[in-house]
Structure 1
Amino acid sequence: MFISSYRLTIVFILELAVSFTASSQAFTADKTIPAHQLTSSLTHFNALDGSRLAARVWNYAKPQYIVLGVHGFNDYSKSFERLAQNLVAETQATVYAYDQRGFGANTQPGVWPGSDALIDDLRHIAAQLRERHPDLPLTVIGESMGGAVLLIAASETPGIKADQLILKAPAVWGAQSMPFYQRLSLYTMNLIAPEMSFTGRGLSSLGIRPTDDPEVSRDLSRDPLVIKATRVSSLAGLTELMGRAQTLTTLPPQRTLLLYGLRDKIIPQQPVCDWLTNLNSVASIPLRTDVVIYKEGWHMLTRQLSARETLEDIARWIQNIPKTHLLNPFQAQEVVCKVK
């Protein structure tokens, strides 16, 4: 327990340490979400340095698509379960997801491995899947921190071996979008107490929560592989990663889908606005970059009460089925920056 005098100084650290405690508010779930019961099989991927990264796969007997999921901060591969089940049923895809280094069932959970290690792991795993399934299109989906890792891996040289990319609420909240007191707070805390941990407990009462689905919140709070206490050093590493993603001056060359919800309090609208504004001012935007903005969307777009729409959008986009509400990055900038 940290003393109350620290609270004002490091409030943004708590904002980053997502609260996974259940909400007491009552909700009515979207009953139209398909109740697919396919379970995953546990597996692993070998990293370049010889490490074994825990993973899981949702198999389709004769797949038409291959999908790789890259999870968010403090989460792990199981976070793709609902999305994977829907993709197997709707697109005949085989879906893989792995625990990123320093998360989930891997060694040293909670210890930040470094941005480059996360990026190298993703590139290597994507290359393994390309070799394993050479004749099938590969779509990589990155959620939150996983979206930042994917964005960098695909945009910076040497890129990533994939056909399609989906950035789901990508973490693009770098220090450049934070007020001075927030940057100073993180720098100071990382200097004097890098191993101090915070839970973010109590943030849900301030409206800072990743989903409006109480069942998802309960599952996260009870899952021993979801990290509950976050080290300051990990938050500093995450902020560096997000800043690197936010300041990219180009989007990936692959066909790309960006998904963002306007009720997202984990990655607020201001840094997303800053990111899109920067991209649109200096980058050459590929014509195949599509964006969907959800007015009522939370951070966990496929794990919220109204997840059905996002699940359908992803399935249709992977199959290249036309959708009427796709925006380009310039239109998305106008929407996000206007209502922030």
Structure 2
Amino acid sequence: MIESTDRTVAGSLGELAVREWKPAEPAWIALIAHGYGEHSGRYEWVAERLAGARALVCAPDHIGHGRSPGDRVHFEDAEVLVSDLDVVRRELAAEHPDLPIVLIGHSMGGMLAARYAQHHPGKLSALVLSGPVLGTWHVLDLLEHDEIPDTPIDPATLSRDPQVGADYLADPLVWHGPFRRATLRAVDECLLAINEGPSLELPTLWIHGEDDELVPEADTRTGIDRVRGGDFHEHIYPGARHELFNETNRTEVVADVLNFVGRALNS
């Protein structure tokens, strides 16, 4: 088992808390962008598997999330979070200039990862989008209310493994409150920008759960169809819910990701 270490990185709005898993002889870098309301510590299992495949894994907590500063789950411009990912990427590239970098984004982090790839097409060797918020997202319908209803994420939508939902509810670093209006507006603006932006012209893997109720596959596909490039691959998992890296078939999912990365880095 490879234990994580902690570091901080100077983000746009404050010091970002970052977890890192480093094997003895890394061959590539996996930069993980986590989802809305959660934090990098929930990626321990997948990070250990990636590190076992010689990845130096780096996972920052977005501003307002986890151990990073800021009002909880509040941001007014998603581009700030995208810029923070670039700060982390630049530090990693300076420390390990010979290692290719793969950006792995989950859910809202998938949205940020797609936007990052649009902004910095030459900085990444590959992109992995896990249950990404792209295209349209039904949660944005909450903006129609004068007051945002207190409708936190249902833990049952995360995985077929009930322990995942139980751990999520018990995690003090996870946000369990209502969505923030400013954050939803920022997500909406980011989705529109992605839809109008360039295609993803780098090796890209999209993975999604067929039974994902939190971020339905059909909604994401409307965005994917706008930005897919020439080296695009997808895998939709029957019966799987939102958090594929915490699903009952997570070993299969990670194997598929590693196979894709291996092909992308050796092409």
TM-score w.r.t. the length of structure 1 is 0.70
Q: How does 1:318-329 map to 2 (within 5 A)?
A: 318-320=261-263
Give the counterpart of 1:78 among 41, 65, 77: 41
The alignment covers a number of residue pairs equal to: 263
Give the counterpart of 1:259 among 195, 207, 210: 207
Within 2, Cα distance between the matches of 1:149 and 1:198?
25
1:275 paired with 2:223, answer yes
Q: Deviations over 1:185-222 (max 9, x none)?
A: 51443xxx4xx562437x46xxx612111111111111
Residues 199 and 163 (structure 1), Cα distance of their counterparts in 2 relative to 1, 3 Å cut: same
Tell me how far 1:250 sits from its aligned partner. Answer: 3.4
Q: Deviations over 1:225-276 (max 9, x none)?
A: 100003331333333333433x145332222111112111111133123223
Residues 109 and 232 (structure 1), Cα distance of their counterparts in 2 relative to 1, 3 Å cut: closer
Tell me how far 1:142 sits from its aligned partner. Answer: 0.5
1:305 paired with 2:267, answer no
Secondary structure class of the residue paired with 2:235: strand
Q: How does 1:91-170 map to 2 (within 5 A)?
A: 91-107=53-69, 108-156=71-119, 158-159=120-121, 161-170=123-132
1:58 paired with 2:21, answer yes
Give the counterpart of 2:50 among 87, 97, 113: 87
Residues 67 and 152 (structure 1), Cα distance of their counterparts in 2 relative to 1, 3 Å cut: same
Secondary structure class of the residue paired with 1:141: strand
Tell me how far 1:316 sits from its aligned partner. Answer: 1.8
Tell me how far 1:84 sits from its aligned partner. Answer: 0.7
Within 1, Cα distance between the matches of 2:176 and 2:116?
27
Give the counterpart of 2:170 among 198, 205, 222: 222
Structure 2: gaps of 5 or more residues: none
Secondary structure class of the residue paired with 1:56: strand
- Retained in 1: the 8 A contact 2:152–2:179? no
Give the counterpart of 1:212 among 160, 163, 171: 160
Within 2, Cα distance between the matches of 1:199 and 1:55?
29
Q: How does 1:190-209 map to 2 (within 5 A)?
A: 193=147, 198-200=150-152, 203=154, 209=157
| 2:2 counterpart letter in structure 1 | L
Within 1, Cα distance between the matches of 2:103 and 2:264?
18
TM-score w.r.t. the length of structure 2 is 0.88
Secondary structure class of the residue paired with 1:231: coil
Bigger radius of gyration among the two: 1
Residues 105 and 296 (structure 1), Cα distance of their counterparts in 2 relative to 1, 3 Å cut: same
Within 2, Cα distance between the matches of 1:165 and 1:273?
16
Counterpart position of 1:41: 5
| 1:133 counterpart letter in structure 2 | H
| 1:317 counterpart letter in structure 2 | F
Residues 273 and 67 (structure 1), Cα distance of their counterparts in 2 relative to 1, 3 Å cut: closer
Within 2, Cα distance between the matches of 1:215 and 1:228?
17
Relative CO higher for 1 or 2, CA cutoff 8 Å, sep ≥ 6?
1
CA RMSD across the alignment: 2.5
Secondary structure class of the residue paired with 1:45: strand
Q: Which runs of 4+ in 1 moved over 4 A?
A: none
Within 2, Cα distance between the matches of 1:61 and 1:278?
40
Secondary structure class of the residue paired with 1:142: strand
| 1:200 counterpart letter in structure 2 | P
Counterpart position of 2:32: 69
- Retained in 2: the 8 A contact 1:257–1:291? yes
Residues 39 and 197 (structure 1), Cα distance of their counterparts in 2 relative to 1, 3 Å cut: farther
- Retained in 2: the 8 A contact 1:302–1:311? yes
Name the % identity: 24
